Chain A
C-alpha cells in the first residue's frame, strides 16, 4: 500500500507560511465576481491572526467563501486557506447558532431518505413556485435554484436486487462508496461504476455507509459532520481490513474522506489513516490500474465532442485529469473547461444572498459551453452537473457513465 502523509502542521498554523503575495487573491473566483468578499488572503491567513476567543470576530465577510479550494491549490507556500476558512466559519456558527437553512442544506441524507419514501410526490414541492417563494423568505434558499429529482428507488435497493452483488470474481476487491447523490437521485452513476468494475473483474461490495458529512461541514455544522465522519470511518475500516479498497464516483465524498476529515474536521485517529489511505476517487483508481497494466482497455471507439469540467473538488485530489485522458482514448474530442469553478460549490449557490454570485462565477464556464456547443458536458461532481444543466440547458454526465458506454459500444 502506498505511504501515507497526513499534513504535519495543523491547518490554522499554516497561516504563518503566508508571504502576502496575493496569488490566491488573483485566483479566487468569488472575489473576482463579488466585492463583498475581500478574497482568500484577507479572510484566510490575514484574519487568522485576529481570531481569538476574547477578541471581536474579524469574520464579517468570511461566509462568502464558497469553499471551492482554488486558493489552496495556487498558494505556493502551502497555506491551507480554504480549509482554514471552513474551520473559521464553523466557529462563527458555534458562537451565533446554526441557521435553519444551513442545518437543512447539510442534511442531504435525511432529505434523500424522506424523498425516496414519498416518491414521486416528493419531487413536487420543489417545483411549486409560490412554495419556493415562501421557502426563500423563511429559509433563504433561492427560489430560482433548481433541485434534482429523487429517483424511483435507491441505488442500494437496485444493488441488492442486481446480479453484480452475487458475482464474485477477481482478486481485487472494492467496497463502493456511493454517497447521497447516487443513492437517492442518480443511481445510474453508481450503476455505471459497478458495470465498469465488472468489466474489470473487480469484486464489488456495498458497505454500510452514511452521508460523507461534507454538506454539513461546508454549512458550518462540524459537530454533526464529525458524527457522520466517525460513523463512516468505523463502517469502512472493517472493509479495508478485509482487503477492500474504498472507491467512489462522487469526487467530493472521496475527497472528504481522504483529506477533509483530517484537515478540516480535525479527526486524528489510526482508523481514519487506514480508511483515508485506502480511499480513491474512481478515476484515480482506474488510472492506477491502467498504470499497472491491469485495466481492461477494450474500448469501442466512438467520435463525440464533449466539454469536460474538472470540478474544484476533483482538482483538490491532486492526481490530474485522468477522465479527460480516458475519454480521448474512447475517440472523443475533449475540450477541457478553462474555468476553475462552476459557481455552485455544493450548496453555496442555492443560498439567496449567494445565488447571483454563484451564477457570475459560473459565467465563463457557461459561456465556453455555449461557444463550443457540445452534445454533452462531462463533470465528476453531482452538484456541479445539476448547476451546469440548469444554466446551460445541456445534459451533464459523469465520466464513469461515458466509460461504461465505451465498454458497451453505445450510448445508453
Chain B
C-alpha cells in the first residue's frame, strides 16, 4: 500500500502532523521507535518567552521558515483538536501565562490545560502548594521556598494525604492519575482532605496527576466539593499532562483513519533524489512507500540527532550530516543553565521545510523536517519548543496539499 504521507516520530510534532494529514483525508502512516517528548514535557504549549521572536525571528530560526501564518493556523487547529477531545487548551497566542515549576521558578506558556489555569502567578489571590505524603516526585516545601523569593501572595505549604498509594514501591504520577480517574476514589480524597484544608487558601497547587482519562471531571468534582480552586504543577517524568496530549492526539489521528506503528526503528535513504523509508519489523526490514516523508524524529534527547565521539553529528534516520564545530569543546558554554551552541544544532531547511544539503539544495524534494530536529533555535532559553513543533508540523502538511 502506498501512503500519501509517512511521518517518522510520535512526539508532539509527528502526532500533530499526523492529525492534520488524517483530517485532510490523506492516507497517513506514522512510524516511531517509541513514544516521544510528550511524556517528559510539561503538557503545555510555549511559543516564545519574548513575543518579538515570532514577529521578527532571526533568518536561520525555524520560525522564519514556517512563517507567522502557519503559527496562528497551527495553534488554532491544535486548540480545536484538544477541545473536541474534551480537553480544551486555554489562552491565546502572543500572551503568556506565568506558571510555577516544581522547583518554584516561573515558566511561560501561551496555551495551557484548564487544570493549570488557577496557577497563573499574576493573579493576586493567595495560594498554597500541597504535597502528597509518600509521593516523592514533588516537594511543596522546596518549591514554596523558591516562590517566596519572587512573590508574596503564597502561604505555607500543606500536606494532603492520598489514600491507597502503592505500599510496596514508590508511586509514579501515573499511579495517582489513574486513581483520580475514579469518582469513588475522589470522594474518599475529598473526605480525607477536608480537615487539612481548614484555614488554607482557596487556591491550591498540586503535583500534576489529577487524572489521566478524566482530568477535568476530577478537578471540577474536587473543587466543587471543597469550594476551592486547584492547579497542577508539572513534575518529573512520566508527565501526566503530556500523556493526556499524547493520548488525545493519537486517538484523533487514528479516529481519522491514520495508521500508527510504534516499535520499529526506521531507516531512510535518498534514492535518485527521493526519500525512501524502511522499518525494522523485528527480524525483517520492510519497505514503505509514500509520496511525502515527514521527519519528526526529535533532537538529541529523543534520538533524532546523534553525536559521535569523533565530533560528527548526523540525523539518525537518513544520516544527513549536521553542521557543527569540529571541536566538541565549542559545543557547550561555561554556564550549565546558560545558552549552549549545541542547542541550535539540527537540520537546516527552506520555507517548504525541505532539509538542505551542504550546497543549500533540498536533499530530496519529497522530504520535510519538523519539530526538535530543526536547526537554529535554543528552545530552552527561548521557550519555543512546542511552538516550533506545532507550527512546523502545520506548515509541512500544508506543503503537501
Contact = CB atoms under 8 A, between A and B. Distances in A.
A76 B298 CA distance: 10
B168 A35 contact: yes
A336 interface: yes
A373 B174 CA distance: 29
B259 A258 contact: no
A26 interface: yes
B282 A316 contact: yes
Contacts of A255: 282
A77 B34 contact: yes
Most B C-beta atoms less than 10 A away, residue of A42, A72, A74, A318 = A318
A173 B40 CA distance: 48
Contacts, number: 118
A78 B301 CA distance: 13
Interface-centre pick from B29, B39, B40, B166 (highest chain A CB count, 10 A): B39
B280 interface: yes
Nearest to A25: B172
Contacts of B307: none
Contacts of B260: 320
A4 B192 CA distance: 58
Interface stretch (A15-23, A107-115, A141-149): A15-23
A138 B283 CA distance: 40
A72 B263 contact: yes
Nearest to B283: A258
Contacts of B172: 22, 25-26, 31, 39
Given A25-B174, A26-B243, A42-B169, A277 B284 contact: yes
Interface string A283-320: 01000001100000000000000000000000111111
Which among B32, B169, B264, B284 has the greatest number of chain A C-beta atoms within 10 A? B284
A397 interface: no
B1 A26 contact: no
A78 B265 contact: yes
- A27, A74, A78, A320 interface centre (most CB from chain B within 10 Å): A320
Contact of A22 (B1, B238, B283): B238
Given A76-B302, A76-B303, A318 B168 contact: no
A315 B260 CA distance: 11
A38 interface: yes
Best-buried of B178, B262, B263, B283 by chain A (most CB within 10 Å)? B283
B282 A317 contact: yes
A408 interface: no
Contacts of B1: 290-291
A315 B35 CA distance: 14
A101 B236 CA distance: 40
Interface in A4-41: 4-5, 19, 21-23, 25-27, 31-32, 35-39
Q: Tell which of A35, A73, A76, A258 has the most Cβ of chain B within 10 Å.
A: A76
Interface residues of B, number: 43
Nearest to A262: B283
A259 interface: yes
Given A21-B237, A23-B39, A76-B33, A4 B284 contact: yes
Contacts of A316: 263, 282
Q: Could you say which of A5, A19, A23, A36 has the most chain B C-beta atoms within 10 Å of its C-beta? A: A23
B263 A21 contact: no
Given A22-B237, A77-B303, A5 B285 contact: yes
B361 interface: no
Interface string B30-43: 00111110011000
B133 to A, nearest CB: 16
A65 to B, nearest CB: 13
Interface string B13-38: 00000000000000001001111100
Nearest to B167: A35
Contacts of B326: none
B197 interface: no
B286 interface: yes
B281 A74 contact: no
Nearest to B260: A320
A50 B176 CA distance: 29
B228 interface: no
B281 A23 contact: no
A76 B261 contact: no
Contacts of A259: 282-283
Contacts of B280: 5, 318
Given A23-B34, A76-B34, A319-B261, 5 more contacts: A26-B238, A37-B169, A72-B263, A258-B282, A291-B1
14 contacts: A5-B285, A21-B237, A22-B40, A26-B237, A35-B169, A36-B169, A42-B169, A76-B32, A77-B303, A258-B282, A276-B283, A317-B281, A318-B264, A319-B286
Q: Which 3 A-B pairs have the closest CB atoms?
A: A35-B166, A258-B283, A26-B238
